[in-house]
Structure 1
Amino acid sequence: MPYAVDFVNVSTVGLESSPVSGALAGLRANEARYYKNKYDHVFTVSAAEEEPETLAWVNRVLAEERGIVFAARPLEVTSFEVDGLRMAYVFYESGLAVNVMYSVEAGGKRAVGFKLAEGMDVPEELAPRFKFARQKSKLAGEIRGSFFVVKGEY
């Protein structure tokens, strides 16, 4: 059942099994606040098993672009379109959030972003290949993030 993420009253709904559920909920709320403020979009997530096509699309981009397959269990996903960008998110039990930004227009911005909730280690699938920048967030504490540019067509 879809859940509209509240960034005023942060909740761990759907993320309870994560060892960093509070920080992951803050990270999810941080994303919700960004999309509400920038695009007036309500960030709504569903359990990963309720949107298998979104999870499959994100997994395909990761695997084909960089050979990345995460061992962590996906908890929630969302996909939506804003301002000519197709966005897809996967929130993992480990505290990892992955987003794919894919411009609908040819030649537009296309990238994959990784954000790590405070308290989680860098996943072994990313550790040797990516450097993470740090960002402070009132909702999520310290977020570490990295990204790569998508070159293929999906």
Structure 2
Amino acid sequence: MTYVVDFTNVSTVGLESSPVADALAGLRANEARYFKNKYNLEFTTEPAKKAKKTIDWVSTILDKERGIVIASPPLEATEFEVEGIRWAYVFYESGLSINALYTLADAGKRAVGFKLSDGMEVPEELSGFKFARQKSKLAGTIRGSYFVIKNEY
């Protein structure tokens, strides 16, 4: 079932099994607010079992670009295109959120971003990254990092 993320009434729907469900829900709501304000887009997610194609695409990029395999199971994912950019988000049980930004035109921006929910430890598979901190009214303290995608996907 598709879930329209509400950033005014933050809900843990679909994220209940996460030990940091409230913080992860805030992180998801933070992303929903960004896309609503910037692109007037309703941010929707679906359960991982229905979003296998999106999760596989993000996993392929992580593995081929950096040899990263995320240990935590995915809970939800979404994929959409806006203004010539393909976006994919995967929300993991550990509290991790990964997004892939992939400009469809050549020579555009292409990157993978990692965001850690408030209260979660840095996963072992991401221990080589440095994380910057950002405050959010919806998500508390978000720690984030990224890398540039070099190949075609």
TM above 0.5, yes or no, is yes
Equivalents in 1 of 2:76, 2:109: separation in Å? 24
Q: Letter of the aligned partner of 1:71 in structure 2? A: A
Correspondence 1:8 to 2:8? yes
1:13-34 CA-to-partner distances (Å, cap 9, x unmatched) read: 0000000000000000000000
Question: Please, what is the CA RMSD of the aligned residues?
Answer: 0.4
Q: TM-score, normalised by structure 1?
A: 0.99
Deviation at 1:83, TM superposition (A): 1.1
Deviation at 1:51, TM superposition (A): 1.4
Q: Letter of the aligned partner of 2:66 in structure 1? A: R
Deviation at 1:7, TM superposition (A): 0.1
Residue 135 of structure 1 is matched in structure 2 by 134
Correspondence 1:61 to 2:61? yes
Correspondence 1:20 to 2:39? no
SS in 1 for 2:59: helix
Q: Could you list the runs of 5+ residues in structure 1 that have no partner in the other structure? A: none
1:122-154 CA-to-partner distances (Å, cap 9, x unmatched) read: 000011x20000000000000000000000000
Q: Counterparts of 1:37-48 in structure 2 under 5 Å? A: 37-48=37-48
Residue 88 of structure 1 is matched in structure 2 by 88
Residue 110 of structure 1 is matched in structure 2 by 110
The runs of at least 4 aligned residues of structure 1 exceeding 4 Å deviation read none
Q: Letter of the aligned partner of 1:145 in structure 2? A: G
Q: TM-score, normalised by structure 2?
A: 0.99
Deviation at 1:106, TM superposition (A): 0.7
1:12-59 CA-to-partner distances (Å, cap 9, x unmatched) read: 000000000000000000000000000000000000110110010000
Q: Letter of the aligned partner of 1:2 in structure 2? A: T
Q: Could you list the runs of 5+ residues in structure 2 that have no partner in the other structure? A: none
Deviation at 1:75, TM superposition (A): 0.1
